[in-house]
Amino acid sequence: MKSIAVIGGGVTGVTTAYALAKRGLSVTLFEKHRYAAMETSFANGGQLSASNAEVWTNWSTILKGIKWMLKSDAPLLVSPKPSWHKVSWFAEFIASIPHYRQNTIDTARLAIAAREHLFACAQAEGVEFDLKRQGILHIYRDQEGFEHAREVSKLLAAGGLTRRAVTPGEMRAIEPTLAGTYYGGYYTESDSTGDIHKFTLGMAAAIERLGVRCIYGQDVAELHSDGTQASVTVGAREQRQTHTFDALVVCAGVASRAFAAQLGDRVNIYPVKGYSITVHLPDESSQLAAPNVSLLDDETKLVTSRLGTDRFRVAGTAEFNGFNKDIRADRIRPLIDWVNQCFPGVNTRQVVPWAGLRPMMPNMMPRLGRGRRGNVFYNTGHGHLGWTLSAVTADMVGDVVQDAMRGVKVLRPSMRLV
């Protein structure tokens, strides 16, 4: 039986370990925290959203970033502090703008395929994660935003996704608790929401039942491969231990760039910070005033999900500020204000803030498949759609690893999906 190391215990690493174990491989998962899903997979926006497949690589994103650079509560905030990593990332981001259309279509296709994979494995393993299949409503306050959404809908349709324009009156019927004045919206009935942390923990228990060895609480210090054997070194100084495997898969989120460099690959992931608040709904009036249908507010770039009866998640914003994970009050305040404005009946006395780093590639497409060495593989860089895409990319990489372990010749060194 071939042995495979999976680096990273977030949703991507856990689903990758699951896909490999189901293919009969001997899998060991390494995670630096004591538990799975303690970083970016802890408290995201909760959306499983093919309707949010539009990539960011367009000139409007650049212009908004420049306009908002000195506005601390802006939806997109770029720290003016320079670094080679940031400069090189934005240079590649701009170079990817001509591929905006095709990358959006490809991402929509992936997201649609991912749904069935995720629902199937959750059902097979009995994983409960506050799944709510009531669609996602995109809301627009002005004609400009609504018209842009019309063009995006054409690209999503080319990728196989159906969503429909709705009037303000229809928006009220879809989500009666929503307050405010809107120009219109787009509703995707096939999208859904859930708790990424619960899902990942459930799948982490499932992989252990399948025989995956999960090594928690161990910092991976070094990865090495000579093309036929791979090694994973954990610990510091005299406590270091080295484990050897036939192959390894890097699913380490924002740490993937540094690990790839050790393995001779360039994976130019940048950590893009996002914030969320979990609003606890302690009384019946708050529970009745909170939405059941998931929302995406295009102007503020905020998304919502209802997690069970007594929790409401609001998340969003993008901050380019290196590996800083500080939770800033001036970035959290707009999320609370948004809840107060759009859902005034919700009690916001019990709000839990959180910040996580999205692993984002410059072209907004995940880095999948082989590295330069034949026994090194990647499933990382999913950006703002990590949970949405995780189940299908895990399955895709599982096929590539299985073929490689069987000695099947693979013509392409990687699966970049461009």
pLDDT one-digit tens code per residue, 64-92 = 888 887 788 888 898 888 899 999 999 99
Q: Is 232's pLDDT higher than 70?
A: yes
Distances, alpha carbon 187 to alpha carbons 154, 168, 296, in Å? 14, 12, 10
Structure tokens at 84: 């080679």
Distances, alpha carbon 12 to alpha carbons 201, 203, 356, 379, 405, in Å? 12, 11, 15, 7, 21
Q: How far apart are CA 160 and CA 149, in angstroms?
A: 16
Mean pLDDT along residues 42-47: 97
Q: What is the pLDDT of residue 411?
A: 46
Q: Going along 191-263, which residue ranges are E strands?
A: 192-193, 213-216, 220-225, 230-234, 241-245, 247-250
Whether the CB-CB separation of 235 and 227 falls below 8 Å is answered with: no
Can you give the pTM of this predicted structure? 0.95
Length of the chain counted residue by residue: 418
Mean pLDDT along residues 99-121: 97
Q: Is 403's pLDDT higher than 70?
A: yes
Which is nearest to 52 in space by CA: 117, 114, 154, 136? 136
Largest Cα span, the chain: 67
pLDDT (tens digit per residue) in 362-388: 999 999 999 999 999 999 999 999 999
Q: What is the pLDDT of residue 106?
A: 97
